[in-house]
Structure 1
Amino acid sequence: MRYLILGATEARDEAGAPLPIGGARLRALLAALALRAGHPASVAELADDVWGDDPPQDAPAALQALVARLRRALGGRDTVHAAATGGYRLAAARDDVDLHRFNRLAAQGDRELAADPETAARTLRTALSLWRGPALADLAEPARTAHAAAPEARRSAVLRRRIEADLRGGATAPAELLPEIEALVHESPYDEPLRAQQLRALRAAGRPADALAAYERTRRVLADGLGTDPGPELTALHAELLRPRPPQAPPDEPTADTVHPPEAPRGNLRPRLNSFVGREPELASLHGDLTRLRLITLTGPGGSGKTRLAEHAAAAHPEPGWLVELARLDHPAAVPGAVLSALGLRENSLVARETPAPTAATDPTTRLVEHCAHRSLLLVLDNCEHVVEAAAELTERLLTHCPGVRVLATSRERLAIPGETVRPVEPLPPDPAHRLFADRGAAARAGFTVDEDPAAVAEICARLDGLPLAIELAAARLRLLTPRQIADRLGDRFRLLTSGARTVLPRQQTLRAVVDWSWDLLD
């Protein structure tokens, strides 16, 4: 049996299927017992957790009746034992309860951090994945607030240590960590260690100018809000940013055979952590198109796999590929600046705040044209739909003035400029869809194969219209459900398909968010 109290209280059998625990009082009792897994809880403690400030007149008798109901729901008298000293004890090991497993993994990740940051990051990510909502959500107040304070604080600390592990380990690109760090900074603007992580991530992402600007914002926030200056860690980081790193001298005197010119940057395409499944024919076709055409737009609904297809095509292209992520932009005017940042050119132009207006030398579009005019490269403009006019205008100017530039765009609508070739990204046919489900399912549950229930897998892929993101979200549910249980629950797919990776954009984490993104773009 497994007991889940990091969110709504649940009990799951050996196969991972949920057991029906009906009623708020029953869930509160189970949460209170699971909180103390392996140890007895007194009648007074359980009454406080279940009824709060409004206990029944005969609390011991009412609690005894609840325990009897809970035993029936969990499958027998042996699930909850009466303690010799009074009270009750849940018959469960500490690791059977998600809260205690979270604490164990958090401590393990702490120990691994100094010696093996990559392993620590995986361990801490596993710990954080156990959370499904507020801790001990079913306990009565004020007991819930009292018991949940420590786990919630621990969760926040583990999240920051996982970011630290990612920064040290290098398996995750620093640029991918920035949105998560910036969201935490917004929640805790006076947290100096978090601000230091932001500066280090910006520097590691090749954006020292943005790191300096972030330090200045931090200095002003601390001065205005607390009347203090940045502490030693931030001050030392600021000094390092102002002092360019000297080139490393070679260990021996170089000879003519050992001197090599520096290699030109090969782009900023990030390595993917899972396999690319199901788009092999489209990928082969796109390779041929990119040798002949200068502007290709991949169109299709949200979750159809446009970004992954574009990244893989760009990675195999002979010219350097540069990914420009436009999804996070709030205003079309930011499009040229986003391309500058992706190309690593932001650090060359810190415009003073008193400058009244951009000049020809500082205008981002002009700088882009000057940089790209005599270079050969492939720009991947990802998620153009919400800034489509600005993306189209910039693309046309670059293609007109920079003969060595090719553009591969992804969008839910075409750019509609001369020379554009549109390639719709269609739903996956049955066989590739089944292979994708099998691949992501094996990652979610060791040993899973489609042969376990091929009819259910076929039904899932068909009812999800071959949409890769929806199939991946469904496969993630194999951690808790069988293929048949998933297929039977697809009538409420917006509540079911909510298990996207934490590190992707919020609109890619649930099926509802994918649809909302499209809906919000409609007039």
Structure 2
Amino acid sequence: MRYLILGVTEARDENGSALPVGGTRLRALLAALALRAGRAAPVAELVDDVWAADPPHDAPAALQALVGRLRRVLGKDAITSTYGGYRLAAGPDEIDLYVFERLSREGAEQLDAGDPARAARTLRTALALWRGTALADLPDRDHGHALRPEGHRLAALERRIEADLRCVETGTGGGAGPNSLVPELMELAAAHPYDERFRAQLIRALRAEGRQADALAAYEDARRALADDLGADPGPELAALHRELLTPSRVRSGVPVPSVTAVPVSPGPHESSGPVVVHGNLRPRLNSFVGRERELSFIRADLTRSRLVTLTGPGGSGKTRLAEEVAAHGAQPAQTPTAPIPPTAQTAQTAPAAPAAPPAQEAPAAPAPEAGADAWIAELASVDDPADVPGAVLSALGLRETALLRDNREGQSPRTDPTGLLVEHLARRSRIRPFLLILDNCEHVIDAAATLAETLLTHCPQLRILATSREPLGVPGESVHPVGPLPADPAHRLFAERARAVRPGFDLGQEAAGDADAVAEICRRLDGQPLAIELAAARLRMLGPRQIADRLDDRFRLLTGGSRTVLPRQQTLRAVVDWSWDLLDEDERTALRQVSVFAGGWDLRAAEAVVTPGPSPAGPAPASARLSAADLIGALVDKSLVVATPTATGEMRYRLLETIHEYAGERAVEAPEIRAAAADAHTAYFLALVEQAEPLLRSGDQMPWIERLETELDNIRAALHRTLVTSPSEAEAVRLVLGMGWFWWLRNFRSEGLTWTERAVALGPEPADDGDPRFWPRMHLEMLWYFLVVESRPAGAVHDDEHHRVRMGRVADAFRSFGPRPPVSPDCSGRWPCSRPVRRSRPTR
């Protein structure tokens, strides 16, 4: 048996198969027993470990029951009873924590003995045993039990990095190179800002890359953190490193010094704060990049962990520009804004004593290894045939003509396998220096792009790919980064900067009163989408901000006239969304039309009531082949047309961005039968919800239902408006209004409730007598109207109005004479109030 407690607790049999240790308490008990490695654990200690500060009434008996359950999983001999406690029949070599501690000691001894390569391997094996937080199932992880393993892990990590650094500094090999150490140490220094060992190791790793200036900056960061936060000076190790950095001649043996000067992407002097050196086909941008600072950092971090990162989002969200900014400012893990050539590449060029093996024959156009990184973008938007994707990437890299020239020179027939040429080229280039390939606009050739990405990553281990698409590629190891709306402040700045291009001197702080509010409204109603904001700003040639905001109800007509040099589908807002619509299949289009009836979002239960697959041109599909509502909503989420957000309960809630909602509504008008069926289903669902909630609003379980109705209030209002205004239905409207009466009263929405109630009362003529099926619903509706009038109007206004008195007298007579007992009302006594003088009611406490 093996017991794993460095993460979620597991037990594995001799074949390595996990045993079903289910339940938090059961895993906590196993972790507590394994922690003691065969020693007897007193009952009191086990109770503390399993239940912490909340033990059951009869804790020993509850513990005994847990032990019995655990024995049934592990075997009856796995846990033995001792005097006053229990013991797990396992030695240290069967428990991952103690295996980790043994390997850590061995690695430390090997490091002390001068064998850093072997120490690095041993310590990596030890650290690989960690699958998460140690003793994750114990309720009190701040206890010393859990703190001790975490401390040992950090110590082992520090020794492993020390071993890798010594391999680099002595040139012995066998450890990780500085290219991978720098990003790891940056994260560790950020997580442990006062740990001088990690700070010192980061400085040494930067120096090993030849990044002297960055090493000095890292020392200054460490000094400032210690001084500002702790009032302390750097210790002897950091101080000694600083002196070495200030003395160029004191470079340790084996650390290469860069001999190639890098050139930045953008023109201007090479400053330490400038962009990274990038070779490729990235175009200098003609306007500024606004916001997204956090996204840039996150995506760079993603690229240090995953070789394929996909930026997803709706059209116009800025995916392409964000990808180009990531590449232009150093996406590769070994790069920073001033990263010179990596040491491994420099050695291949400048170290005559140990020259690298000559590379295979390179195509004539392929540049020789240079300082910096390679970043190339392949724009797939114009590719119509998925089979042309590899060729488009080959052309973007400038290799198609190169390959033809080489084949002609060598007397070979032209090769027709662009994927093979890409693999050959990228495998060579990515070994020389970091190589980032951007696959832009993959959504319409998603399968071909995914296949190519997987092939290239499999055969080119040093390659990284940054893709942009409206849905993930679905390749193993892919890291998906949704590109969300711009927050308010960056959105306002983007509008102002683009506005100055058409109205020089535009300044939100100095414009006419109300312009700042208008710009905020524009950015909010355009969902913080950069392209839409830029199109709106371009309208300042002829309109003011308030005029633009007032015309956003017709946004697709308003927001046209984008740059003539961009793709046609990016020149108008409608073209942007049309592109996404054209990529949907018929079921997805039907689902998007159907969800346009929702207002303010929806959950999966509501979707299952409203969303159904539409008719197929090929005829009705068999039931087994029809997609469920969850499948269709999931497809729209994947394609960035529906936004999914987790709620406090752990469920997902879905919504359409305002622009997509308006577009989907227009498309729904084109299919009136689909829209009508969805609207009917929407009304029926929320009518059923309201009627389910109504009696519970008058019970002790009212709070969850109040919250549920508040969450769905926009949808309920939409159903009310539909049944009262757009498609009047007296029966449904009266049921909706009666179901919402208590909610309006409890949440003090009485004025709104009165408005809806008066509309319902006016919807049809008064029934003549109780033989009319509309009679009693109408009486209840009139009674609700009475209470809302009493609560919403000044005291005395009701009984001083002759019309009101006659109207309510009729209702009172109906209930007194032959009607059923009226429902409990928001009156203090719950009785019919007309039996005594009219007065303002008070809620029941």
TM-score by length of 1: 0.55
Q: Judging changes above 3 Å, is the alpha-carbon distance between structure 1 residues 417 and 465 closer, same or farther for their aligned structure 2 residues?
A: closer
Q: Judging changes above 3 Å, is the alpha-carbon distance between structure 1 residues 91 and 144 closer, same or farther for their aligned structure 2 residues?
A: farther
Q: Which one of 172, 182, 194 corresponds to residue 190 of structure 1?
A: 194
Contact 1:116–1:169 (Cα < 8 Å) also in 2: no
1:483-520 Cα shifts (integer Å, max 9, x gaps): xxxxxxxxxxxxxxxxx9xxx9999xx97761405988
User: What is the distance in 2 between the residues matched to 1:204 and 1:327?
Assistant: 29
Moved more, 226-235 or 44-53: 226-235
Higher relative contact order, chain-length normalized (CA < 8 Å, sep 6+):
1
Residue 51 (structure 1) aligns with: 51
Q: Judging changes above 3 Å, is the alpha-carbon distance between structure 1 residues 18 and 383 closer, same or farther for their aligned structure 2 residues?
A: farther
Deviation at 1:219, TM superposition (A): 2.4
Q: Judging changes above 3 Å, is the alpha-carbon distance between structure 1 residues 470 and 211 closer, same or farther for their aligned structure 2 residues?
A: closer
Q: Is 1:200 the equivalent of 2:221?
A: no
Secondary structure of the 1:68 match is helix
Deviation at 1:175, TM superposition (A): 2.6
Deviation at 1:184, TM superposition (A): 0.7
Moved more, 162-171 or 335-344: 335-344
1:371-426 Cα shifts (integer Å, max 9, x gaps): xxxx95367945655xx89xxxxxxxxxxxxxxxxxxxxx9984976945498658
Residue 155 (structure 1) aligns with: 153
Q: Judging changes above 3 Å, is the alpha-carbon distance between structure 1 residues 248 and 121 closer, same or farther for their aligned structure 2 residues?
A: closer
Q: Is 1:117 the equivalent of 2:121?
A: no
Q: Judging changes above 3 Å, is the alpha-carbon distance between structure 1 residues 425 and 137 closer, same or farther for their aligned structure 2 residues?
A: farther
Contact 2:6–2:132 (Cα < 8 Å) also in 1: yes
Residue 39 (structure 2) aligns with: 39
1:194-241 Cα shifts (integer Å, max 9, x gaps): 211111111112222221222223223323222333222111111111
Residue 11 (structure 1) aligns with: 11
User: What is the distance in 1 between the residues matched to 2:133 and 2:232?
Assistant: 34
Contact 1:138–1:144 (Cα < 8 Å) also in 2: no
Q: Judging changes above 3 Å, is the alpha-carbon distance between structure 1 residues 263 and 35 closer, same or farther for their aligned structure 2 residues?
A: closer
Contact 1:49–1:144 (Cα < 8 Å) also in 2: no
1:262-316 Cα shifts (integer Å, max 9, x gaps): 999899xxxxxxxxxxxxxxxxxxxxxxxxxx9899xxxx99xx989xxxxxxxx
Q: Is 1:169 the equivalent of 2:133?
A: no
Residue 138 (structure 1) aligns with: 137
User: What is the distance in 1 between the residues matched to 2:375 and 2:36?
Assistant: 48
* 2:232 alignment partner AA: T
Deviation at 1:339, TM superposition (A): 9.1
Secondary structure of the 2:339 match is helix
Q: Is 1:516 the equivalent of 2:480?
A: yes
User: What is the distance in 2 between the residues matched to 1:152 and 1:248?
Assistant: 33
Let me know the Cα RMSD of the aligned residues: 5.0
Deviation at 1:48, TM superposition (A): 1.2
User: What is the distance in 1 between the residues matched to 2:252 and 2:476?
Assistant: 51
Residue 353 (structure 1) aligns with: none
Contact 1:295–1:420 (Cα < 8 Å) also in 2: no
Q: Judging changes above 3 Å, is the alpha-carbon distance between structure 1 residues 378 and 38 closer, same or farther for their aligned structure 2 residues?
A: same
Residue 28 (structure 2) aligns with: 28
Contact 1:2–1:14 (Cα < 8 Å) also in 2: yes
* 1:130 alignment partner AA: L
User: What is the distance in 2 between the residues matched to 1:149 and 1:334?
Assistant: 37
Max Rg structure: 2
Residue 88 (structure 1) aligns with: 86
Contact 1:49–1:139 (Cα < 8 Å) also in 2: yes
User: What is the distance in 2 between the residues matched to 1:517 and 1:150?
Assistant: 35
Deviation at 1:7, TM superposition (A): 0.8
Residue 233 (structure 2) aligns with: 229
Deviation at 1:86, TM superposition (A): 2.3
* Aligned residue-pair number: 343
Deviation at 1:465, TM superposition (A): 11
* 1:40 alignment partner AA: A
Q: Which runs of 5+ in 2 are unaligned?
A: 169-174, 262-278, 283-301, 309-321, 344-366, 380-389, 402-416, 421-450, 468-473, 486-638, 641-845
Q: Which runs of 5+ in 1 are unaligned?
A: 250-261, 268-293, 309-325, 346-374, 390-410, 427-463, 473-499
Secondary structure of the 1:110 match is helix
Deviation at 1:338, TM superposition (A): 5.7
Contact 2:280–2:374 (Cα < 8 Å) also in 1: no
1:465-490 Cα shifts (integer Å, max 9, x gaps): 99479999xxxxxxxxxxxxxxxxxx
Q: Judging changes above 3 Å, is the alpha-carbon distance between structure 1 residues 469 and 32 closer, same or farther for their aligned structure 2 residues?
A: farther
Residue 107 (structure 1) aligns with: 105
Contact 2:110–2:116 (Cα < 8 Å) also in 1: yes
TM-score by length of 2: 0.35
Q: Which one of 366, 369, 381 corresponds to residue 377 of structure 1?
A: 369
Residue 838 (structure 2) aligns with: none
1:425-475 Cα shifts (integer Å, max 9, x gaps): 58xxxxxxxxxxxxxxxxxxxxxxxxxxxxxxxxxxxxx999479999xxx
